[in-house]
Chains A and B, each alone.
Chain A
Amino acid sequence: MSHHIIEARDLCYTYPDGTPGIRDVSFRITHGESVAIVGSNGAGKSTLLLHLNGFLIPTRGTLRIGDYPLSKKNLKAVRRTVGMVFQDPDDQLFMPTVFDDVAFGPLNLGLPPEEVEAVVTRALETVGVSHLKERPPYRLSGGEKRSVAIATVISMSPDILVMDEPTSGLDPRARRRLIELLKTFKHTKVIATHDLDMAVDLCERTIVIYRGAVTADGPTLELLQDEALITRSGLEKPLKMQNCPACGKIKSNLKTRLQSTA
């Protein structure tokens, strides 16, 4: 199924005011892969993500989403393929009730009302927030908002899920729940984050970005052990890869994973 593929070649983008966004970014993400895009603040993660949905058109280079090279003409098809979860759920939830919000996408796609009802119910069940159906989105807690935002996207059954900082602003338990939820998704996933622990849990592959350019691209566990690379890219080793401050040991189950990659 070629439509789950993202292929970027020499992507460059400079903002209209001259701020450099990204330069010469190339990668190929294939079907079912789960990829973390990590980088310090302002490295260009969000800029890159905005390309994947056609919000920004690269100043140079090409981007292929599935079967289409990205252009203004096939924006609609691309946006159908790529579901995007924004960093601030308040930007994404704009309808009177949770139900209406989740139904917004399917209705725009022209699904008949009976089907929309079923699709919405299923999406809400998947993320475990069916009980919030009739609530206005601005009255929800941060974690609930995030779940609903994800439901609004998966209700359109996209092939590729793109998320910008999905764990930001969540308490530890909500974060854990979200990670478990994302693990169950079979979509191709692209997750921009600086929660490197989540990257370890969720993504087998990581792309490191620093000042707009890719500094590394490879298996997550391998890259995040490379101290020189991590320091060079303005990052810090994930907490779970650091030795325990009390006993000086690393967590045993991770240790076996690390050994198996080495």
Chain B
Amino acid sequence: MAKIDQHFFDIGYMDTLASQQTPVHRLDPRAKLLTTLVFITTVVSFDKYEIAALIPFFIYPVFLCAVGNVPPVYLVKKLILVSPFAVMIGIFNPLIDREILVRMGDLGISGGWISFASILVRFVLTVGAALILIAVTGFYGVCAALEKLGTPRVFVVQLMFLYRYLFVLVDEASRLVRARSLRSFGAGGGFKAFGSLVGHLLLRTLDRAQRIYLAMCCRGFDGKIHVMKPLKFGPLEIGFIGGWLAFFLAMRLYNLPAALGRAVTELLI
């Protein structure tokens, strides 16, 4: 758990990244959110054997990363952390789909391997884009954008609280686990101890939820969270959305890498 603390859950670093001042950070969160949503939809809309046509889409996350000053190493670490989910989804494709689609000399590559690779590429693109969005907007910025774009307030408030108390929860959980490991001397106490530990965590969480609600009522909470941060949607935002949308559309309709490949082959022959 201590490791989870230090290495994996350093989401707090995202906040540090999000508080930077770059042209991308200054854009209205709505513009970034919309563009990223369209980006993700476009990427997942491709055929399951498609790899080459996806390559140009790397330009968008790379652009945001570069302009928004997001360290790529940090992103890659985060991607590796969640990659097991994507791998589990695609890992059986090579076993099920054995039809040979591509031949490279003697080596035949089955459709399963290609669709597996395609899943991984999409995973990197979509999850990467979502992470970068948060790193250049901030979680609360994304929430504000969601609310302004008409997401029901209940969900937005839930998300905000989830993020706020994630830190407290991880803290509390790691304290419990530390206390257990200090007295377990390698035995761990087994499943039973684990059960009561999780139970305790739940009870503490319920108690805390109660107290937070009291604190909110105390300050006149009536179901609405007012945040004073005027968002402004200007020509820059429209340009950002328009430009990227046009690019995504073009790349969706026109397979640039394939065309490039054909041109090169023609030149060579």
Contact = CB atoms under 8 A, between A and B. Distances in A.
A161 to B, nearest CB: 12
Contacts of B224: 108
Interface string A138-153: 1100000000000011
B211 A138 contact: no
Contact of A138 (B168, B208, B212, B219): B168
Given A91-B211, A138-B168, A84 B160 contact: no
B226 interface: yes
Given A96-B140, A107-B226, A136 B218 contact: no
A116 B168 contact: no
B64 to A, nearest CB: 22
A108 B220 contact: yes
Interface string B216-228: 1111111011111
A137 B83 CA distance: 31
Contacts of B208: 90-91
Chain B CB within 10 A, most for which of A96, A152, A153, A156 = A96
Contact of A117 (B19, B219, B226, B228): B228
Contacts of B227: 95-96, 100
Contacts of B168: 90, 138
Contacts of B216: 94, 104
Contacts of B244: none
Contact of B167 (A86, A88, A95, A138): A138
Contacts, number: 76
A136 B15 contact: yes
Contacts of B12: 139
B74 interface: no
A31 interface: no
B1 interface: no
Interface of A is mostly: helix
A3 B218 CA distance: 18
A108 B222 contact: yes
Interface residues of B, number: 28
Given A116-B228, A138-B168, A91 B220 contact: no
Given A103-B228, A136-B15, A139-B12, A156 B219 contact: yes
B161 interface: yes
Given A86-B211, A96-B164, A108 B228 contact: no
Interface in A52-104: 53, 55, 76, 79-80, 83-84, 86, 88, 90-92, 94-96, 99-100, 103-104
A160 to B, nearest CB: 12
Contacts of A136: 15
Given A91-B211, A91-B212, A138-B167, A100 B228 contact: yes
Contacts of A103: 226, 228
A94 B215 contact: yes
Interface in A16-52: 50
The range of chain A's interface size is: 20 to 34
Chain A CB within 10 A, most for which of B19, B167, B220, B225 = B220
A3 to B, nearest CB: 17
B214 interface: yes
Contacts of B214: 50, 53, 55, 86, 91
A113 interface: yes
A96 B19 CA distance: 12
B218 A79 contact: yes
Contacts of A250: none
A108 B140 contact: no
A166 interface: no
A109 B219 CA distance: 8
B160 A96 contact: yes
Nearest to B214: A55
Contacts of A212: none
A109 B160 CA distance: 21
Chain A CB within 10 A, most for which of B12, B138, B219, B228 = B219
6 A-B pairs with the lowest CB-CB distances in the bound complex, closest first: A108-B220, A105-B219, A107-B226, A96-B140, A91-B211, A92-B215
17 contacts: A53-B218, A55-B214, A76-B220, A79-B219, A84-B215, A90-B208, A94-B161, A94-B216, A95-B227, A96-B140, A96-B160, A96-B164, A103-B228, A105-B220, A108-B224, A136-B15, A138-B168
Interface of A: 50, 53, 55, 76, 79-80, 83-84, 86, 88, 90-92, 94-96, 99-100, 103-105, 107-109, 113, 116-117, 134, 136, 138-139, 152-153, 156
Given A55-B214, A94-B215, 6 more contacts: A79-B217, A79-B220, A94-B165, A104-B219, A107-B228, A153-B219
